[in-house]
């Protein structure tokens, strides 16, 4: 086992059960994993295997039934909801499969939504957003309503938003689900570049275009809520 300082994401006995009528459904069972800092890993498995539940637990969006999640050496599983929300804003960036952009708002307005609970974006946030828009080739689209953007543009915008807080960990749920081959290649180049800058990335996928990319540092496989390899 590596030293705590070398591990960005650690799960210990992670289990999640949901009520289903008079019974319970186990979405994730006794998952133990370690993702070293500065590496790019995938979580593979069929639909319903528990991939999205795992990301939600690791991001602190939902609380486990049992077990613990450690991010950067800090246990987040027993924090209050408000404290877990702070973790989501500053320690980990989450990119959702459906992008979670609000129609009727511009791309730039959507980027700053995570800052609304804090009173809105500060000048430093706006400056960082402009720099990231330029880096991702989205500056010309900043004032465009998101329903007019392509899937590739929305995906880059969602990643940009997750990076605005300069979080060291990035979690992505099926990031290539609605992308064509050209945009998949572009996205993978972007994610590898973020890894090379020192960020830790974990992405769920069952896309063979992603699974067969040789640049991943490691692969986890889930089946029926359990880690099989």
DSSP annotation string for 108-124: HHHHTGGGGGGTS--HH
Residue 21 lies in a domain: no
* pLDDT value at residue 220: 94
Residue 100 lies in a domain: yes
Quick one: what percent of the chain has pLDDT higher than 70?
Answer: 97
Residue 47 sits in which domain range? 38-64+80-227
Segment 195-200 mean pLDDT: 96
* pLDDT value at residue 11: 97
Rounded to an integer, what distance in angstroms lies between the CA atom of residue 81 and that of residue 84? Answer: 5
Report whether pLDDT(47) > 90.
no
Q: State how many domains the chain has.
A: 1
Residue 179 lies in a domain: yes
- Per residue in 71-93, pLDDT tens? 998 898 887 777 777 777 778 99
Q: Where are the alpha helices (DSSP H) in 136-204?
A: 151-163, 181-196
Q: How confident is the model at residue 5 (pLDDT cuts 50, 70, 90)?
A: low
**Domain at 126, CATH number:** 3.40.50.300
How long is the chain?
Answer: 229
Residue 32 lies in a domain: no
Q: Decide if 103 contacts 153 (C-beta within 8 A).
A: no
* pLDDT value at residue 1: 43
Non-local CB neighbours of 22 within 8 Å, separated by 6+ positions:
none
Residue 85 lies in a domain: yes
Residue 216 three-state SS: coil
């Amino acid at each position: 086992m590596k030293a705590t300082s070398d591990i960005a994401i650690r799960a210990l006995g992670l289990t999640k059960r949901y009520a289903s009528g008079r019974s319970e459904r186990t979405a994730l069972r006794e998952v133990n994993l370690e993702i070293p800092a500065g590496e790019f890993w995938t979580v593979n498995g069929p639909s319903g295997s528990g991939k999205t539940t795992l990301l939600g637990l690791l991001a602190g969006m939902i609380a486990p039934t049992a077990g613990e999640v450690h991010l950067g050496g800090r246990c987040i599983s027993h924090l209050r909801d408000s404290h877990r929300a702070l973790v989501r804003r500053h320690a980990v960036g989450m990119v959702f499969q459906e992008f979670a952009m609000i129609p009727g708002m511009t791309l730039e307005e959507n980027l700053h939504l995570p800052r609304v609970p804090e009173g809105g974006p500060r000048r430093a946030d706006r400056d960082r957003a402009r720099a990231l828009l330029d880096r991702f080739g989205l500056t010309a689209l900043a004032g465009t309503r998101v329903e007019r953007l392509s899937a590739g543009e929305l995906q880059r915008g969602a990643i940009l938003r997750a990076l605005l807080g300069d979080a060291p960990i990035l979690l992505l749920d099926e990031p290539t689900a609605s992308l064509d081959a050209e945009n998949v290649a572009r996205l993978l180049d972007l994610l590898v570049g973020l890894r090379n800058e020192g960020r830790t990335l974990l992405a769920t996928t069952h896309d063979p275009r992603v699974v067969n990319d040789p640049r991943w540092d490691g692969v986890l496989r889930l089946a029926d809520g359990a880690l099989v390899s």
